[in-house]
Amino acid sequence: MIVAEQKPLKEIINMVSPFKKLLIVGCNECVTVCHAGGRKEVEQLAAALSMAAQKDGRPLEIKEVTLERCCDPEYIEQVRPFIDQYEAVLSCACSVGTQYFADTYPTKWALPALNTSFMGGSLAQGIWAERCAGCGNCILHETGGICPIARCSKRMLNGPCGGSTGGHCEVNPDIPCGWQLIWDRLVALGRIPDYAKIMAAKDWNTSRDGGPRKIVREDLTI
Amino acid sequence: MKTESKLEKILESGQLAVTSEAGPPRGAEPEVIRKKGEMLKKFVDCCNVTDNQTAMVRVCSLASCIILKELGISPILQMTARDRNRLAIQADILGAYAFGINTMLCLTGDHQSFGDHPTAANVFDLDSIQMIQGVHKIREEGTFMGGAKMTVAPKMYIGAAANPFADPFELRVMRLAKKVAAGVDFIQTQCIFNLDKFAKWMQMVCDEGLDQKVHILAGITPMKGLGMARYMKNKVPGMDVPDEVINRLKGVPKEKQADEGITMAVEQIQQLKEMKGVHGFHIMAIEWEEKVPEIVERAGLLPRPQVD
Ligand code: SF4
Ligand code: SF4
């Protein structure tokens, strides 16, 4: 899923300070799972912003709504009946959702309440970690199911650098060395010789380097 | 001979090669490079020029190599993949070769978080193995990494680094084998302090027959004192400083520690001279280049061989 976290409250207060009427929109998908922008967080954020406005003596009217999904035109449409009553949308969805608001309602400011961080998953209660950098051409079948692009700090494709120490990455001992993990998997799978194969220079074209990406499924388009 | 490289000539003649390192300054001061060059000239065969070492901005490796070349020193152009994509890498190689620089070292590079620009974007388009493969392709096929034909292809003698002390240890020889398969000609190792572990690695290298395919220069770093040894042990990732080294330095008074460090480096070279597969030495006297002549001399590595 997409993992995000709320921006520091001060930054959000600053961001919304020019507005008197604010629509705060949450999303029921990824950001709910990572406790960043679901119904509960929208509620808490609305309360905090009201309080801050009160303290500063600024009038602020807030409406809260949480959509099923903010990265889908169908759901974004649901705010159309009342959006004109508000000056800006503070999106608690991931930044994709925020851009959907900007795209759909050209005269409304769309403000991000979250920092959208990465694609990953939950390791334990309250802990999320990156797993994929969306390179667009997956090689996990060659690396024991562990991504060297997302999980090696230098996105090396042919093995660990000279800084790998005791299973930790040279960048920070809190980061597991991606290549140590790959190696451990290859050993466990009895596939040590696989390591000898040189992985050629990657075609980053399918990654961000080819420009913004798009997938078209002719079979599904109407 | 694959190239015009002085290092290749010495290594292929079967003589022990001696290289060392010159770190460019953190300011536009060509005299600093010249001074280091003059100091090293008669004592080493070739001189590596580091490339934004530890991710700290310095005079670029290419410019520094040109300055050394003007002094009649054969430079080794270090190049990291951290700061360059494959276009920049190739452009720099063409530029270097245009100035007669024919020996280079392909490195992935320290992560930028270690340096003084930790917020910089990195590149890491290629890793060191892919860089070796690319430079080898340029030399052997006369084509760019992208496949197009070159007018004049630079014939680079290709080096890389190896760290026998990083983890996982079992993989380190396979990683060297990968560099050999990619087309590397010589290897300069990480600083050796744990001789036993190095011997074990070297044994495995020879068992795999890799010593027949690549020239290995053993990395030597003299300790300036106890402080440096402790720092290396605790703070530098991938460095293996055994307690004996620490204890030996601890055993001498502070003002004698630097001399002891030099003596230890000299003893190490003596021991390594006898080791199968070791074809030379790469002396990395980090910001202590003035001690290289003494080390080379005391280790009995003078005079340096003359090749045309
Ligand atoms: S190889 Fe690419 S698609 Fe697969 S996990 Fe890594 S970044 Fe994601
Ligand atoms: S230590 Fe491991 S994860 Fe970190 S950069 Fe080196 S190979 Fe990649």
Task: Encode pLDDT of B140-189 as tens digits.
Answer: 999 999 999 999 999 999 999 999 999 999 999 999 999 999 999 999 99
Query: What are the helix and strand counts (H, E) for chain A?
Result: 8, 9
CA distance B71 to chain A (A): 33
Q: Which residue of B has its CA nearest to A163?
A: B238
CA distance B267 to A49: 69
Parallel/antiparallel/unpaired status of strands A172-176 and A168-169 = antiparallel
CB of A148 closer than 6 A to ligand 2?
A: no
Mean pLDDT over B225-245 rounds to 94
CA distance B161 to B113: 21
CA angle A119, A121, A127 (to 5 degrees): 115
A164 and B166 in contact by Cβ < 8 A?
A: yes
Structure tokens at B67: 């300055």
If 0-12 CB within 10 Å is exposed, 13-18 middle and 19+ buried, where does residue A178 land? buried
Determine contact, residues A130/A120, Cβ cutoff 8 Å.
yes
CB of A154 closer than 6 A to ligand 2?
A: yes
Residue pLDDT, tens place only, A179-205: 999 999 999 999 999 999 999 999 999
**pLDDT band (50, 70, 90) for residue B286:** confident
State the pTM of this model.
Answer: 0.95
Q: Average per-residue pLDDT in chain B?
A: 97
Is residue B308 pLDDT above 80, yes or no? no
Residue pLDDT, tens place only, B34-62: 999 999 999 999 999 999 999 999 999 99
Q: Average per-residue pLDDT in chain A?
A: 97
Per DSSP (E only), the strands in A19-169 are 21-27, 61-67, 88-91, 109-112, 114-124, 127-132, 168-169
Residue pLDDT, tens place only, A106-145: 999 999 999 999 999 999 999 999 999 999 999 999 999 9
Residue pLDDT, tens place only, A88-102: 999 999 999 999 999
A201 and B86 in contact by Cβ < 8 A?
A: yes
Identify the bridge partners of residue A3 per DSSP, sorted by sequence position. Answer: A118
**Nearest alpha-carbon partner for B277 in B194, B193, B176, B182:** B176
CA distance A218 to B11: 60
CB of A48 closer than 6 A to ligand 1?
A: no
Determine contact, residues A105/A83, Cβ cutoff 8 Å.
yes
Whole-angstrom Cα Rg for chain A: 22
CA distance A193 to chain B (A): 9
Write out chain B residues lying below 8 Å of A184, CB-based.
Answer: 168
Ligand number nearest CA of A167 is 2
Structure tokens at A221: 């388009």
CA distance B31 to B44: 19
State the best of A139, A146, A198 to mutate against chain B, taking most chain B CBs within 10 Å. Answer: A198
Identify the bridge partners of residue B283 per DSSP, sorted by sequence position. Answer: B20, B220
CA distance A112 to A96: 10
Mean pLDDT over B240-250 rounds to 96
Which ipTM score applies to this complex? 0.94
CB of A110 closer than 6 A to ligand 1?
A: no
Is residue B109 pLDDT above 90, yes or no? yes
Write out chain B residues lying below 8 Å of A194, CB-based.
Answer: none
pLDDT confidence of residue B3? 98
**pLDDT band (50, 70, 90) for residue B237:** confident
Q: Of A184, A195, A201, which is closest to B126 when you measure between CB atoms? A: A201
CA angle B187, B192, B196 (to 5 degrees): 110
State the best of A143, A151, A156 to mutate against chain B, taking most chain B CBs within 10 Å. Answer: A156
From residue B97, alpha-carbon distances to A77, B37, B92 in Å are: 61, 20, 9
